[in-house]
Structure 1
Amino acid sequence: MKNDIDKIDDAVLALLALTLHDENEYGARAWKGHDWDALGRLHDKGMIHDPVGMAKSVVLTPEGLAKCRELFDTLFTRES
């Protein structure tokens, strides 16, 4: 079987929700302790700004932040 890269990217984007901080109308920041290839693909998809640099966090775009929350709810929550 081959890895489904899009599913991996969705999981990484969803997991960024666990470390969200500094939210504003332009997006939010999240710690970037994830696979560099996945972060690069998320950047290519417009979900985060360029992850390369000295900062220990990445900036999610407004679209990326909305998708991050949606995926987190889909993948990691359940009814009480």
Structure 2
Amino acid sequence: MKNQIDELTLLLLYLTSFTDDYGLGEEGQRSWKGYPFGTLDELSEKRYIIGSKRAKSVYLTEEGIEQAKELMKKYHVSDHQ
């Protein structure tokens, strides 16, 4: 069950993400992190998200975005973008 919670949290982070400028003209997918910290820690350890513990949002890495897209197929979710 823990794995499914991590997967669905990553999917929700992706589906609720927005494009944001994080400096020097670079853009990234950002999402608010209103999810259990244990799950966010797991996603961070897998390098799917990055962000400061003090920030209220996280950035999705390229690996995280690709994994989220695979999860969209797995859970039959339409693309939000």
What TM-score results when the alignment is normalised by the length of structure 1? 0.74
Q: Could you give the per-residue CA deviations for residues 29-65 of structure 1, whole angstroms, max 9, x where no partner exists?
A: 1111111110000001110114511x22111111101
Question: How many matched pairs?
Answer: 74
The CA deviation at 1:22 is 1.4
Where structure 2 has 5 or more consecutive residues not aligned to the other structure, the ranges are none
RMSD: 2.3
Which range moves more in the overlay, 44-53 or 8-17?
44-53
Where structure 1 has 5 or more consecutive residues not aligned to the other structure, the ranges are none
Q: Does 1:14 align with 2:11?
A: yes
The CA deviation at 1:69 is 2.4
Poorly superposed stretches of 4+, deviation over 2 Å: 23-27
Tell me, in whole angstroms, the C-alpha distance in 2 between the residues paired with 1:5 and 1:51. 23
More strand by share: 2
Q: Which of structures 1 and 2 has the larger relative contact order (alpha carbons within 8 angstroms, sep 6+)?
A: 1
* Matching residue's letter, 1:12: T
Q: Give the % identical residues.
A: 36
Tell me, in whole angstroms, the C-alpha distance in 2 between the residues paired with 1:76 and 1:6. 18
Tell me, in whole angstroms, the C-alpha distance in 1 between the residues paired with 2:67 and 2:13. 11
More helix by share: 1
Corresponding residue number in structure 1 for 2:37: 36
What TM-score results when the alignment is normalised by the length of structure 2? 0.74
